[in-house]
Amino acid sequence: MIRLMIMTSHSSGFILVWIVVAFSLFGLSSCSDEVVTPQERVQVIEQLQQARQTDLDDAMDTSLGPTAEGDYLAQAEKADSAIRDLNQHSNVPRSEVSAALFVPPKHLSPEMRAQLVEKLEQARALDDEKWHNNLGSEDEAWLTLLCDIQSRRATRVIKKLETGEPVSWYEINDAMTTPDEIP
């Protein structure tokens, strides 16, 4: 699982975007057991409402194209879902909130594209390592197929990032994910 969070700061007419990529590999998530506390709930809901509104506003920007529109609408739905969950349940995982707070940037700078390519190459290397570590196991054929699929996803997204083609955040996240361990 990959979590991408972007914080924006408007100053001097440009947007500074930081991408924090937190990896949770092989099905292990350090944040999966942590939940939003009742004391944090009101502030988190306000942050989610702001993220949702930003996503909806950005989805209306026709200059960004249909790929970005889809990303923004999907993120707005995640924020809506997290808000509903926080209003209805007491045990909402922080991972759900973090995923919903992510607002995709309007544009990827060459530096950001290079960072994403590097992360995708690392994910692809982990897929290869996983495949090599499981050679000769009873699940070798299945794992080979999964790792091949992930490698192709990563390669496709890397190509899009390197050539400046539109690429959705769903595709990026999906390509960075390493196949789960097979029992």
The whole-angstrom separation of Cα 183 and Cα 179 is 12
Domain that holds residue 75: 31-106
Residue 21 domain-assigned (yes or no): no
Structure confidence at residue 33 (pLDDT): 60
pTM, entire model: 0.69
Structural contact between residues 130 and 145, judged by C-beta atoms closer than 8 angstroms: no
The whole-angstrom separation of Cα 67 and Cα 11 is 27
Q: Are 84 and 112 contained in the same domain? A: no
How many domains are contained in the chain? 2
Query: In this predicted model, which residue has the larger pLDDT, 26 or 143?
Result: 143
Residue 16 domain-assigned (yes or no): no
Residue 165 domain-assigned (yes or no): yes
Q: Are 62 and 128 contained in the same domain? A: no
Quick check: 149 pLDDT over 70?
yes
Q: Are 125 and 56 contained in the same domain? A: no
Structure confidence at residue 90 (pLDDT): 73
Q: Are 182 and 113 contained in the same domain? A: yes
- pLDDT tens for residues 84-113? 999 998 788 998 999 999 999 998 899 999
- pLDDT tens for residues 23-67? 222 222 334 468 898 889 999 999 999 999 999 999 999 999 999
The whole-angstrom separation of Cα 69 and Cα 23 is 26
CA 54-77-87 angle, to 5 degrees, is 95
Residue 26 domain-assigned (yes or no): no
Quick check: 12 pLDDT over 70?
no
